[in-house]
Amino acid sequence: MGKNEMEAVLMSGNEACVEGALLAGINFFAGYPITPSTEIAEGLARRLPRVGGKFIQMEDEIASMAAVAGAALAGAKAMTATSGPGFSLKQENIGFAAATEIPCVVVNVQRFGPSTGLPTSPSQADIMQARWGTHGDHPAIALMPASVQESLSLTITAFNLAEEFRTPVILLMDEIIGHMREGIVIPQKGEYVIKNRTKPTVPPEDYLPYAAGPNEVPPMANFGDGYRFHVTGLIHDETGFPRGRGSDGDYLVRRLINKVMSRLEEILMVEEIGMEDAELAVVACGPVARSAKKAIAMARELGIKAGLVRPITIWPFPEDAIKVAAKKVDAIIVPELNLGQMALEVERNACGDAPVYRLNRVDAELITPDEILAKIQEVK
């Protein structure tokens, strides 16, 4: 490795997402222009054809999610990127991909809502939409980067989880991380892991496209590989065909959820700082965790033993990390850029073992370390 390659390069979170996607092996992107995610589409429009991949700007958000699912079914590693209103529009086809187990990555650079809102301002108000945005019971995996470096690394992770679990994975960025510039190091080959979907090993005539192995994830053939199988958003049995039976629904919905929930150790990522001796915990994610990190350092200077729990995987929610923290500390503070979405999960998992205090801003500004510190002092 040359010296130059080790040097940090300055880029935004959106640009880092592009780099991460390319390292992960993306070869298809479909999108629609929307602030503040557009730089991801622009970057991939430039870069993908240079590596033999395909970029397409579709007629709308719905179509771009559909094209991503179609491309992934034809074997591509496919991604789309959007923001707020666009994320809402994509939900039906995210549900289709979840139900039909099509691996793909959906980046949502969260912006201030509801509706058109403040398009260039940050928010964390899509946390619940990332979990429950599409109708019906379904699995959800969503990751929240807190830095530009992490925007790159979590994009790779998102592709890997999508391939491994055959499900759409949401990279839940936000305007701050998306547009913030930081020096990052682009990892070299061998410094990151790439995972690919499991292919069927049986001949086409024996292939049951939705027969799950012990890990609940069925091997996936590509369209055009001779397997000639059927994919439908209707409840289907292991052959892939609908039979209109409630029992098939029971089996499928439970399996879809279980394939994710039974392997949490492979999905859950949590950063903890100072939790060994913490008497008070701040639970924060994304850019708010940066303020929280500073705030707990300031608190410790004042003699308050504060700690940070940062869910990197926001869905499935890292329940155990909160349960353990709640048993340990006297109070939990949940600062977030919404009126309390992650707080609902924290409150649920604290099980009353520690009181949970909310700290919310919905005025298009980031919560500052001082504000978190003031809350720490107030509840301590």
Partner 1 sequence: MATKELLKEYTRMDKLPHIWCPGCGHGIILGSVIRAIDRQKLDPNKTSVISGIGCSGRAPGYVKFDTLHTTHGRALAFATGVKLARPELNVIVLTGDGDCAAIGGNHLIHAARRNIDVTTVVFNNYIYGMTSGQYSPLTPHMKLATTAPYGNIDQSFDLCKLVTAAGATYVARGTVYHTQMLIGLIAEGIAHKGFSFIEVITHCPTYYGRRNKMGDAVDMLNWQKEHAIPVKAAAKLPPEKLKGKFVIGELHRSEGPEYTEEYQRIIDSLKRE
Q: Which residues bind partner 1 (CB under 8 A)?
A: 27-28, 30, 49-50, 52, 54, 56, 58-60, 62-64, 66-76, 78, 92-93, 96, 222-234, 241-242
Smaller CB separation from partner 1, 169 or 366? 169
What is the C-alpha to C-alpha distance for residues 277 and 287, in angstroms, rounded to an integer? Answer: 24
- Cα 117 from Cα 228, distance rounded (Å): 45
Task: CB nearer to partner 1: give 22 or 76.
Answer: 76
Whole-number Å distance between alpha carbons of 236 and 212: 13
Compute the least distance from the CB of residue 47 to partner 1, in Å: 10
Q: Output 54 or 300, the one with its CB closest to partner 1.
A: 54
Nearer to partner 1, 137 or 320 (CB): 137
Query: Are the C-beta atoms of residues 150 and 312 closer than 8 Å to each other?
Result: yes
| Closest CB 48 distance from partner 1, rounded Å | 9
Preceding amide of 316 cis, omega within 30:
yes
Residue closer to partner 1 (CB basis): 199 or 327: 199
Q: Which amino acid is at 336?
A: E
- Neighbour tally for 62: CB within 10 Å: 16
Nearest by Cα to 175 from 122, 227, 219: 122
Q: Find out whether 97 and 167 touch, Cβ atoms under 8 Å.
A: yes
Question: How far apart are CB 236 and partner 1 at their closest, in Å?
Answer: 9
Please give the DSSP secondary-structure letter assigned to residue 51. G
CB of 68 to partner 1, least distance (A): 6
Nearer to partner 1, 178 or 209 (CB): 209
Contact (Cβ atoms closer than 8 angstroms) between residue 282 and residue 309: yes
CA neighbor of 357 nearest in space, from 369, 370, 338, 378: 378
In contact, 104 and 70? CB cutoff 8 Å: no
Distances from the Cα of 12 to the Cαs of 18, 37, 149, 253, in angstroms?
Answer: 10, 11, 9, 38
- What phi, psi does 358 have (nearest 5°)? -100, 150
- In the bound state with partner 1, the residue whose beta carbon lies nearer, of 59 and 277, is 59
Please state the closest distance from residue 335 (CB atom) to partner 1, in A. 38
275: tokens are: 């939790």
Q: Please say which residue, 40 or 68, places its beta carbon nearer to partner 1.
A: 68
CB of 298 to partner 1, least distance (A): 49
Instruction: Return the number of the residue (148 or 162) whose C-beta is nearest partner 1.
Output: 162
Q: Identify whether 114 is preceded by a cis peptide bond (ω within 30 of 0).
A: yes
Minimum distance, C-beta of residue 82 to partner 1, in the bound complex (Å): 15
Least distance (Å) from partner 1 to the CB of residue 232? 4
Which run of H or E residues covers position 291? Answer: helix 287-301
Question: Token digits for 196?
Answer: 């690919």
What is the closest distance, in whole angstroms, from the C-beta atom of residue 227 to partner 1 in the complex?
A: 7
